[in-house]
Amino acid sequence: MFPPIASRDSIVSDDVNPLTEAYRDVVIYDEPVDDNPLYEGPIVVHANGWIELEGNRLLSPSAIHHIDIYDDEVTESGADRDDSGDGHADGRE
């Protein structure tokens, strides 16, 4: 269901339920501490709350603590996203 990483095509087709949301760059956590992500990559969020991962795998909403969405986040320095946890994409405190 997902195109290659470098593709500019949508990751969902036009006939998909309009109540779904697709994201290209997310990190899913199963605990409040952001040390070990459960999943990183593209997802489709269905209207019933289930998360569709690559390979047509589904993740229950009860298995997820939170999701960080990084779509369209580009800083002035050109860094794609902030994974440091300090709120600064360039690593400064």
pLDDT in tens, 14-53: 555 678 899 999 999 999 988 899 999 999 999 899 999 9
Supply the pTM of this predicted model: 0.61
pLDDT band at 10; cut points 50, 70, 90: low
Q: In the predicted model, is pLDDT for residue 54 greater than 50?
A: yes
Of 86 and 17, the one with more pLDDT:
17
d(CA 75, CA 93): 16
User: Strand runs (DSSP E) across the chain, as ranges?
Assistant: 21-29, 39-45, 51-53, 57-59, 66-69
pLDDT band at 1; cut points 50, 70, 90: low
